[in-house]
Amino acid sequence: MTDAGQPTPQHPPEVAVSTRRRLSLLWLLPLVAALIAGWLGWRWLEDRGPQIVITFQSGDGLEAGRTRIKHKNVDLGVIESVRLSDDLSQVIATARMDRAAGRHLKEGTRFWVVAPRLSLAGVSGLSTVVSGTYVEMEPGGGEDRREFDALDDPPVIRADVPGRSFSLKAEQLGSLAQGSPVYFRGVQVGEVMGYNLSPQDRTVSVSVFVRAPYEGLVREGSRFWRSSGIQFTAGAEGLKFQTESLKTLALGGVVLETPPDPQAGEQAKDWSTFTLYEDQQSAAAARDRLRVRYRLEFPGSVQGLQAGAPVLMRGLTVGHVAAVRMEYDEANQQIHIPVDIDLEPDLVARTYGILDDKPMDEATLRKLVAIQVKKGMRGRLASGNLLTGQKLVSFDFEPGPHQPVPGTERSELPTVESSDIESITRSAGVLMDKVSALPLDGLIADLRGTLQSVSGLAGSPDLARSLAALAKALGSADALMRDADRQLPELVKSLRGVATAAQGTLNSANGLLGGGGGQADLAGVMRQLNDAARSFRVLADYLERHPEALLRGKSP
């Protein structure tokens, strides 16, 4: 209370008020939303993957936002945009890949368009008729990469297929194409992946792939040759026709052959280079084995003889023709056509044991050939194929001493005239020239004159002289017929004319003699002349029907 007795006034308590401003919980909602959006965006960017650029030669089937990029039918990305290059020669597609595909975008990664394709190798991409065209991705190795060039065609062999690749060198591509099969003993073991032309030596390089587990069949001594698909063979059983599969007929093929150990050598390394031969015979002739070369010269023409033709000994192959060329001898001013042959001792089996397990060497083979030459071994050209006219070299044994044929003095082995049809024709031509040189016209004229003299002078004293001349003429004609051993059309024609004239003349002579009834001896002579003329006619008719009788004699 106060001094005046008044009560003391009451003051309200002081309240401590904080001046710091508090954050409202309502503001936390936008912050949380921003954080969630940022996290989702970061996850989207992380899952989105890298962006790549693929260059195509054509834009067929490519649509921005719709064309997918797949691997084993699983989506890995999508084409975002498609545009032309600045020079309008290519199509550039920008694609967004998934995060899982980012680590597989390497230098060896390949892309190509999968669409329905119809070719000789078959039909592919039929599933895209329903699902639509897409881009296939095949992962590869190497450094990271973001720009790629798409393949024009799908690869024949995928990168994940085990096996080995090899390179074949050939002069011509022939019927081979991408996807052509590779066979080993009739079993397909691989395919042709592709080919290219070498600008250096202008040869064709064919890439082949042999799948596992067959890649071990390719050794250093292996041989490759083309498979034509169709084979004709002619033997004692007749003609044989053999074909491969329809795929080989359409695309061609390659045949792989590996000799037995130890001739096969070591296993071939990846991308080893081999020669692609035209056929099996060429591949067999190219084997690394001993060859002993001889120089031969044949009389006459060597038309039809080519390098690679077989060399036969009594019908069995003992070598091959290495070269056929023409040489000019300036000293003697003569042209020679030497034929080089290679004799292969591996083709000749010996009946006695080989010393120290060593094969026949060159010195042994030359000694063997020299012994056989002393026994009468001679070489000649023979027809290898009557249809194509190809020839070969054949050795056989001829009885009697060897008489060198002119023009073959420089031959290392003795040769003789060929026995084929061409040589027979040539010999017949020489004989015809000799026959043409004979006084055949004078002989026929004498015969006709003699017969006319007999007809007009049947009762004259000159009859004896005419008959003697006639006998001489007939004897000459008979000798000429005995010497003719080839088909002589001109001679047959002349004999027919002689027989016709003689028959007419003798008929006249018979009529004349019939009026003289007292000349019995002369009538008998004329009958003999009539029989001789008839014999000439019969002979001419027979030779006209059977000209081969001049070569083989009269058939039974």
Domain extent listing, the chain: 47-149, 163-285, 292-418, 427-552
Q: Is the pLDDT of residue 4 over 60?
A: no
pLDDT digits (tens, 9 = 90+) for 360-407: 778 888 888 889 888 889 898 888 877 777 889 999 888 777 677 776
What integer is the mean pLDDT of 105-119? 85
Q: Which of 32-41, 71-80, 401-410 has the lowest mean pLDDT?
A: 401-410
Helix ranges, 213-262 (H): 246-251
169 vs 158: CA distance, rounded Å: 23
Q: Quick one: what percent of the chain has pLDDT higher than 90?
A: 19
What is the mean pLDDT of the segment spanning 530-544?
A: 70
Q: Are 144 and 108 in contact (CB under 8 A)?
A: no
Segment among 99-103, 159-163, 237-241 with least mean pLDDT: 237-241
Distances (CA, A) of 27 to 22, 23, 24, 31, 180: 11, 7, 6, 7, 73
208 closest CA partner among 176, 230, 186: 176
Q: State mean pLDDT over 511-539.
A: 60
- Beta carbons of 253 and 183 less than 8 angstroms apart: yes
Distance CA 77, CA 95 (A): 7
In the chain, % of residues over pLDDT 70 = 61
Question: For the residues 505-520, what does the mean pLDDT come to?
Answer: 51
Tokens of 314: 């009594």
Nearest to 390 by CA among 457, 324, 294: 324
Residues 397-406 have pLDDT tens digits of 887 776 777 7
For residue 167, name the pLDDT band (cuts at 50, 70, 90): very high
Residues in the chain: 556
pTM for the whole thing? 0.51
Antiparallel, parallel or unpaired: β 327-329 and 273-277: unpaired
What's the confidence (pLDDT) of residue 166? Answer: 94
**How far is CA 265 from each of CA 83, 145, 258, 260, 271, rounded to the nearest angstrom?**
54, 41, 9, 9, 17
Q: Where residue 29 falls among pLDDT bands split at 50, 70, 90?
A: confident
In this predicted structure, the answer to whether residue 344 has a pLDDT above a threshold of 70 is yes
Q: 299-303, 496-500, 516-520: which has the highest mean pLDDT?
A: 299-303
Whether residue 37 has pLDDT greater than 60: yes
Q: Check if the beta carbon of residue 7 is closer than 8 Å to that of residue 1.
A: yes
pLDDT at 425: 54
Is residue 381 within 8 Å of 418, Cβ to Cβ?
A: yes
Query: Which pLDDT belongs to residue 148?
Result: 94
